[in-house]
């Protein structure tokens, strides 16, 4: 695969980024954007004059491609419309100083919006004439909550009838896709009448469209819209301007603008790759998951793995790393001595085995994902690796290419130690807590760099607050999942729970057999009886079945498509635990109603321990 | 005025509070609740058996008054309904162990909901017969998003036709007021058929009612609903059960449960006081606002006050406190040496002058507001004071009662120093940043303890994130305002701005004269030219007017009712600045569109200073 990251001019609206105008410009330039849409309130609050902003943008290599927004141009009150034209003319003064010739005019959302399409076209034409005299152009956009014009087809009809060279269309993916508007008529729009294209993704939300737009927009590839199909339709219609991002998002408004800008440019890179069918489609398997533990936690971790049927299979020649294996599952246990806390544990890395490790790494690099710096000793494998936004290191390896085989630096041990196979055959998913400011960036990372797809988006209550969950899964046959579980609101001071839990969910074909055969001291989490009483009432299960899973501390859920049986271990050190999962039939997602029970049980276990 | 806090039994649903079930029970008991509604998921996740929960509640002096919720009882599928009855019977087992005899059944929100009112009544009657055999009762509630029953009138019609002694009504203020249902028909409902009353307030939200209900409910008095009128109607109908809170709120789920429970019990106390017309209606004036400064900031603060026309008028006899006065405005400047940071400044206290200081203090105490511990030396005034949830100390004083006159401990200075009166005659409002977890508690505090009313609720963008604003105002003639300005989302690491700004807004009759007469070195915040260019285009103002306010760094807004002209000082120390305000006509609220300009200007001033 190849990425052609410079195929389109890429720009970003200043409103997408946190900080003062200068913070935003520096961030956009640093991330490699070609230009910006200047959001008027950012200019109004700036201590720099328009001429100074122009100069600053030139220094930074940024074009100003659009001035926005101009609201409520048309009016049923003719005198008001004349005043609006004067207002527009004053904005042209500012634009001339800035050196930008395109202004966004959005459809009127107030009481005096013109409903008559010919009158609206006439007013747009009058504005176009004014613009032409000033050497300016107008991109007219249908707001999803416009009063008389709220569909792109209506805005096009107004532009078509205005029939003026200085009046064209602005298409905004949010306003169009939030209304589920059809795009088929776009083929009839001349490409050169599409003056501007604004891109934003969004999650599905059952709410007022204005609030949805102003608080929850996302960069392309982070939400639920099909931006590839949308952009392809606009490009097919002949649009040749920039791909520009306009995202209003409560979290991005608070996040480091440099980091957000890099995420933003990545979203356009992934969109371009999607347009070129260049995103990863290769298969991969999970070669290993690496667990980092402190010396304090090593025994606990080894005991848990051993109790779950893992056995040491290889030892690193120079580092304190041991591979624990069962069937095709390998957990690397790395002892670290520089952890922040004595009891730190973490899912440090995931290794993906693929035919083309360097291809994956090149995709990541093309998407502005930072490669991880590595210290490689002579003779050691130099494995390409990148940092996922959630803090996990992602390695690309290949068992079929000696120089990219992670086992190259390990002494493989005799398999004599493999005594207690518990039938754990694969990893169903790994769950990590994405940092609050990087949650959506994490979704984009797994989708774009690894080609994973969303299986389930949900919220569930925990004892210390609501949790949002986004489960991504690799295509079959790997089917490997990554679940991003994080607080819906950033945590406050009252959060006695584990704030950033992580876990690995192992698959088995027979959880009852697997749990039944575990040694007596396996650190399986005790599930309270109340859960089983409720379960039986809810799902009308037999006494025999409920008794069996109750004795083994197995949780259970049933959907129309299948069943999900699972059990947990205690938390090892600061934040890591294991799950054992049996999926029956075609159960999709995870039984999130069980999560609060698991969390409360972990709290109870921790408190009981604290009493000793 | 008198509060009769024990007039009604007060209970709270466990879902209102953060933590494990035991955390919730301890918090509810500590706050003085009489009992709880047991939210089933809290029991299911608990490691305590129902009998143990019962015992724990007995130890804590809590009655379990309701078990909830039971969903989807009725069904168009007769076999499903029979299974639902078995499920109900199993819940009765649990309830018998818990020692609670009332279960909440909410209207069916799924596809098999019964639409035929007689069939629904028949199914409720069958459930009622089962309940009666078990010594239980059913409180049937119309969910606002129920499929066939979504209005309380429908739920009443079903209960009426069911005509069974074990089947009554549950009224939930959210489900009723969110749908703007009328309450007039309630007079026809026999009081003893209203089995339960759940109370929740909520802010106005233009969103899906289910999401609104599950994320944004508030305690009575914290939102926009008229809970006093609602509760009065239910009591007038003859309801004699507990006043019970059922609030789903994202922030409360994350907050200290003890603190939340105290806020919750206060909300019911204020509601009872409202029912008794016992909330404060006395007038008060603002006697003083106290500013605490470090020795480092003292000169800056004194310079600012002096430049704004204040002069020292009194000095505390034993403490480092100076009163600065202009017309009726007094600012106490207190030098503290134990501040967290060298440049700490804070609005430490507000003194309210009233005819009945001890009455206000008694109201506060009756509402579980902690009195402030005070060290009073012999002969010093012992002024009643309480802690507002936003960290400000609230003093109740009286100039007409020597022992409660704050000036008692001050040596009044000669007014000779009063040279530079700038025409600042009153305080329009004080703005503070309420702690994220206590924002809604703060609203309730000012409403209930001081009888203030909401003037404006809004959101505005700042350079580092969205800000929510709630402006409360005392009745005329004081008209004193408190604005709670806080981040919409809890701040993350990228927040270079002042995180908890506070300011005092002084009123003047003539801001142009006031600003024009200030000394040249008055620390007035410079407003960028871009603001004035935009202002002129937006509001079609004359060159002359705009030039005049531009030279004086005055910001301007106009509404249908009046005008608002204002200017700011630089930030003094860590977080405090001053605003000078002229209101013309009947301008309501504040010009929040100016806030981002002010914030960016403060950032620019701070950065410029950092360069020296």
E strands of B248-376, at which residues? 284-293, 311-316, 321-326, 329-335, 345-354
Nearest to A444 by CA among A215, A252, A238, A268: A268
Task: Mark yes or no for CB contact A489/B94 under 8 Å.
Answer: no
Cα distance between residue A204 and residue A223, in whole Å: 8
Q: How close does chain B come to A363, measured CA to CA in Å?
A: 29
Q: Is the pLDDT of residue A3 over 90?
A: no
Q: If we measure between CA atoms, which residue out of B161, B202, B196 comes closest to residue B180? A: B202
* CA–CA gap between residue A575 and residue A343 (Å, rounded): 9
Whether A529 sits inside 8 A of B600 (CB atoms) is: no
Chain B residue numbers touching A43 (CB-CB < 8 A): 530, 534
Least CB–CB distance from A20: residue in B18, B465, B603: B603
Distance CA A499, CA A437 (A): 15
The whole-angstrom separation of Cα A406 and Cα A357 is: 12
Closest B-chain CA to A24: B463
- Is position A282 annotated in a ligand binding site? no
Dihedral over Cα of A337, A339, A343, A347: its sign: negative
Query: pLDDT tier at A9 (50, 70, 90 boundaries)?
Result: very high
Cα distance between residue A493 and residue A499, in whole Å:
11
What distance in Å separates residue B310's CA from the closest CA in chain A? 30
Shortest Cα distance, chain A CAs vs residue B591, angstroms: 14
Q: What is the pLDDT of residue B382?
A: 87
Mean pLDDT within A180-188: 90
- 10 Å CB burial of residue B232 (0-12, 13-18, 19+) is middle
Structure tokens at B410: 């001050």
Task: Please give the Cα distance from B11 to B26 (Å, whole number).
Answer: 13
- Contact (CB<8Å) A250/B496: no
Please name the member of B20, B490, B604 whose beta carbon is closest to the beta carbon of A47: B604
Question: What pLDDT is attached to residue A302?
Answer: 97
Is the pLDDT confidence value at A283 over 70? yes
Tell which B residues from 571 to 600 touch A, by Cβ distance under 8 Å: 596-597, 599-600
Shortest distance, CA B47 to any CA of chain A (angstroms): 5
| Tens-digit pLDDT profile for residues B575-597 | 999 999 999 999 999 999 999 99
Cβ <8 Å between B44 and A531:
yes
Q: Which DSSP letter does residue B370 get?
A: P
Q: Which chain A residue has the Cα nearest residue B252?
A: A465
Task: State the complex-level ipTM.
Answer: 0.94
DSSP secondary structure, B128-156, as one string: HHHHHHTT-EEEEE--TT-SS--SHHHHH
- Say what the pLDDT of residue A1 is: 42
Residue A98 or residue B610, greater confidence: A98
Q: Is B417 on the interface with A (CB under 8 A)?
A: no
Annotated binding site of B for a divalent metal cation: 141, 172, 198, 246
B94 in contact with A at a CB cutoff of 8 Å? yes
Test A45 with B18 for CB contact under 8 angstroms.
no
Residue partners of B159: CB distance under 8 A and separation at least 6: B121, B124, B140, B167, B168, B169, B193
Predicted confidence band of residue A380 (pLDDT cuts 50, 70, 90):
confident
Q: Which of residues 459-498 of B touch A (CB under 8 A)?
A: 461, 463-466, 487-496
pLDDT in the model for residue B463 = 95
Contact: B206, A206; criterion CB under 8 Å: no
C-alpha distance from B259 to closest chain A C-alpha (Å): 10
Angle separating helix axes B257-275 and B357-366, nearest 10 degrees: 120
Category of A573 on φ-ψ map: left (φ > 0), alpha (ψ -120 to 50) or beta:
left
Distance from the Cα of B538 to chain A's closest Cα (Å) equals 7
Is A23 flagged in the annotation as binding? no
Q: Which mean pLDDT values do the consecutive 10-residue runs of chain B (612 residues) have?
A: 67 98 98 98 97 98 98 98 97 98 98 98 98 98 97 98 98 95 92 98 94 97 97 96 98 96 97 85 89 96 97 94 95 92 93 93 91 79 92 95 92 67 95 96 96 96 96 91 96 88 97 96 97 95 97 97 98 96 96 97 90 58
Would the CB atoms of B530 and A494 count as touching at under 8 Å?
A: no
Say yes or no for a CB contact (<8 Å) between A49 and B251.
no
Name which of A374, A286, A368 is nearest A325 in CA terms. Answer: A286
Higher pLDDT: A56 or B4? It is A56
Which neighbouring-strand residues pair with A346? A292
A-chain residues near B47 (CB < 8 A): 526, 528, 600-601, 604
What are the backbone dihedrals phi and psi of residue A562, each rounded to the nearest 5 degrees, phi first?
Answer: 175, -165
| Share in percent of chain A as helix, strand, coil (round to 5) | 35, 25, 35
E strand or H helix at A346: strand A345-354
> Does residue B423 contact residue B510 with C-beta atoms inside 8 Å?
yes
pLDDT at B370: 87
Average pLDDT of the residues in A46-62 = 98
Q: Compute the distance between CA of residue B8 and CA of residue B597 in angstroms, rounded to an integer.
A: 49
Q: Confirm or reject contact between A203 and chain B (CB < 8 A).
A: no
Average pLDDT over residues A253-276: 96
Chain B residues within an 8 Å CB radius of A50: 530
The model's pLDDT over A440-493, given as tens digits with 9 standing for 90+, comes to 999 999 999 999 999 999 999 999 999 999 999 998 888 999 999 999 999 998
- Lowest mean pLDDT of A79-83, A278-282, B222-226, B302-306, name the range: A278-282
Number of H helices, E strands in chain B: 17, 24
Mean pLDDT across A33-60 = 98
d(CA B331, CA B409): 15
Could you give the 3-state DSSP secondary structure of residue A142? coil
From CA B315, how far away is CA B332, in angstroms rounded?
9
| Chain B contact for A533 (CB, 8 A cutoff) | yes
- Inter-chain touch B603–A43, beta carbons under 8 Å: no
Residue A163 has, within 13 A of its CA and on its CB side, a CA count of 5
Do A18 and B463 lie within an 8 Å CB cutoff? Answer: yes
Give the nearest partner residue to B489 out of A251, A601, A603, using CB atoms: A251
Q: What are A195-250's pLDDT values in tens digits? A: 999 999 999 998 999 999 999 999 999 999 999 999 999 999 999 999 999 999 99
- Dump pLDDT digits (tens) for A545-586: 999 999 999 999 999 999 999 999 999 999 999 999 999 999
- C-alpha separations of A287 from A21, A279, A312, A405 in Å: 45, 21, 15, 10
Q: How confident is the model at residue A612 (pLDDT cuts 50, 70, 90)?
A: low
Is A544 annotated in a binding site? The answer is no
Separation CA B36–CA B42 (nearest Å): 12
SS (H, E, C) B176-229: HHCCCCCCHHHHHCCHHHEEEEEECECCCCCECHHHHHHHHCECCCCCCCCHHH
| CB within 8 Å: B254 and A597 | no
Residue A381 has pLDDT above 90, yes or no: no
pLDDT (0 to 100) of residue A418 = 54
The HSE-up count of residue A250 (CA atoms within 13 Å, CB side) is 19
Q: For residue A50, give the chain B residue with the closest CA.
A: B530
Q: Any chain A CB within 8 A of the CB of B251? A: yes
CB-based contact, B609 to chain A, within 8 Å:
no
Q: Which pLDDT value is given to residue B1?
A: 42
**Domains (ranges, CATH) in chain B?**
10-275 (3.20.20.150), 284-610 (3.10.180.10)
Put simply, whether B362 touches A (Cβ < 8 Å) is no
A488: closest chain B residue by CA: B250
Handedness of CA A284, A286, A287, A293 (dihedral sign): positive
């Amino acid at each position: 695969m190849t990425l052609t990251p410079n195929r389109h001019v890429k720009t970003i609206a200043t409103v997408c980024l946190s900080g003062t105008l200068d913070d935003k410009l520096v961030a956009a330039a640093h991330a490699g954007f070609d230009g910006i849409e200047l959001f008027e309130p950012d200019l109004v609050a700036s201590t720099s004059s328009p001429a100074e902003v122009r100069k600053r943008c030139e220094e930074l290599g940024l074009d100003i491609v659009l001035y926005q927004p101009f609201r409520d141009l048309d009016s049923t009150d003719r005198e008001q419309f004349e005043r609006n034209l004067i207002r527009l003319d004053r904005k042209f003064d500012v634009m001339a100083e800035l050196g930008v010739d395109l202004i966004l005019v959005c459809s009127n959302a107030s009481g005096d919006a013109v409903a008559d399409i010919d009158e609206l076209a006439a007013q747009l034409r009058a504005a176009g004439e004014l613009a032409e005299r000033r050497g300016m152009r107008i991109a007219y956009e249908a707001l999803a909550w416009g009063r008389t014009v709220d569909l792109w087809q209506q805005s096009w009809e107004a532009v078509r009838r205005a029939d003026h060279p200085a009046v064209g269309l602005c298409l905004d993916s949010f306003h169009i896709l939030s209304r589920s508007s059809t795009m088929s008529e776009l083929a009839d729009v001349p490409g050169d009448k599409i003056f501007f294209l604004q891109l934003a993704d969004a999650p599905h939300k059952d709410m007022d469209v204005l609030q949805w737009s102003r608080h929850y927009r996302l960069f392309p590839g982070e939400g639920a819209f099909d931006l590839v199909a949308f952009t392809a339709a606009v490009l097919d219609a002949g649009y040749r301007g920039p791909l520009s991002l306009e995202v209003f998002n409560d979290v991005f408004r608070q996040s480091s603008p440099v980091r957000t800008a890099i995420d933003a440019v990545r979203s356009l890179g992934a969109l371009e790759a999607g347009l070129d069918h260049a995103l990863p489609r290769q298969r991969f398997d999970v070669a290993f998951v690496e667990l980092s533990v402190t010396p304090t936690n090593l025994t606990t971790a080894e005991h848990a793995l051993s109790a779950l049927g893992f056995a040491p299979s290889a030892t690193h020649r120079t580092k304190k790393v041991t591979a624990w294996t069962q069937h095709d599952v390998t957990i690397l246990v790395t002892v670290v001595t520089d952890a922040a806390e004595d009891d730190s544990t973490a899912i440090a890395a995931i290794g993906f085995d693929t035919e083309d490790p360097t291809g994956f790494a090149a995709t990541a690099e093309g998407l502005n994902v930072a490669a991880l710096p590595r210290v490689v000793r002579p003779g050691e494998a130099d494995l390409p690796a990148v940092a996922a936004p959630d803090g996990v290191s992602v390695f690309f390896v290949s068992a079929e290419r000696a120089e990219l085989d992670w086992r190259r630096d390990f002494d493989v041990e005799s398999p004599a130690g493999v005594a207690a196979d518990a039938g754990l055959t694969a990893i169903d998913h790994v769950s990590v807590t994405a940092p609050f400011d990087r949650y959506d960036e994490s979704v984009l990372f797994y989708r774009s760099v690894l080609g994973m797809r969303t299986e389930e988006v949900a919220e569930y209550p925990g004892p210390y607050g609501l949790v949002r969950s986004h489960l991504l899964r690799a295509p079959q046959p790997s089917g490997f999942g990554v679940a991003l579980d994080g607080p819906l609101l950033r945590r406050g001071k009252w959060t006695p729970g584990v704030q950033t839990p992580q876990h690995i969910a192992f698959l088995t074909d027979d959880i009852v057999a697997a749990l039944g055969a575990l040694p007596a001291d396996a650190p399986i989490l005790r599930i309270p009886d109340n859960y089983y009483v409720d379960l039986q009432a809810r799902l009308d299960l037999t006494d025999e079945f409920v008794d069996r899973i109750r004795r083994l501390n197995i949780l259970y859920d049933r959907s129309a498509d299948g069943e999900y049986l699972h059990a947990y271990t205690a938390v090892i050190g600061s934040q890591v635990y294991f799950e054992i999962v049996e999926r029956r039939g075609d159960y999709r997602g995870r039984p999130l109603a069980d999560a609060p029970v698991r969390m409360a049980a972990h709290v109870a276990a921790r408190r009981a321990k604290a009493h000793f």
